[in-house]
Amino acid sequence: MNLMHLKIDKSWSLFLDRDGVINERLPDDYIKSWDQFHFVEGSLEAIKIFTGVFGRIVVVSNQQGVGKGLMTETELALIHKEMHSAVNQAGGKIDKVYHSPFLASENHHSRKPSVGMGLMAKRDFNDIIFRKSVMVGDSFSDILFGKRLGMKTVFIGRPHKAREFPKLFDFVYPDLITFAASIEII
């Protein structure tokens, strides 16, 4: 299954989750420093491909490790600065990284599946049109975030999860590079 019928071009925006999509997720833990951050195989190449297709690429990431006091905003900013640098070196770009440092129990409007980070991105980049956007994530909260904003959704993970909720996901791919390879440039 590919996205060719969507006619993706530079008028489209891409929203990416971070942990489990761009970088390896740490089971039952948080990425608290750059040395713990490891790109998922193929994700740098995928972002390079996306850079040639999408007009905007933003990252939206729940980071409650900050809210739990396990890392500071400064430490998180350093991780994102290094991530940007690595993406740029690989020939890709990320326009901006948005994060929500709040605990899940706080139900803050910026925390996915709430749409606050999407609205912040729209405020910063008025060329973002949600119906011409794709949200890529590996959790139900990522997909609900995209659906609530009227985006197309791509679930990164095992197909059996998608079969549990067939109407929730528009597309399912095992990883970011497989999704990127499926896009045909028009």
Which active-site residues does the annotation give? 17, 19
Q: Which residues contact 44 (CB under 8 A, 6 or more apart)?
A: 86, 87, 90, 92
3-class DSSP state of 161: helix
φ, ψ of residue 141 to 5 degrees: the values are: -65, -35
Q: How many CB atoms lie within 10 A of CB 64?
A: 18
